[in-house]
Amino acid sequence: MGAGLAVIGAGIGIGLIGYGVAQAIARQPEAAGEIRSQTFLLAILVEGAAILLGLLSLVL
């Protein structure tokens, strides 16, 4: 149950990031490299929270 909720949250978060990235690259294709590395960072942070909660729900 907790793991499912964590996945829903992370899914929405990463989806929003992906949406933003696709739009940003479409507008400025020359900045793709820079945008990609920023994306990685954001996606990692969102995913980190999800894993933390998933693990917590596994332990508790």
C-alpha closest to that of 7 among 39, 54, 60: 54
Site for another protein in 32-51 (CB under 8 A): 33-34, 37, 40-41, 44, 47-49, 51
How many residues belong to the chain? 60
Nearer to another protein, 22 or 51 (CB): 51
55 binds another protein (CB under 8 A): yes
The residues of the shown chain that bind another protein, judged by CB under 8 A, are 33-34, 37, 40-41, 44, 47-49, 51-52, 54-55
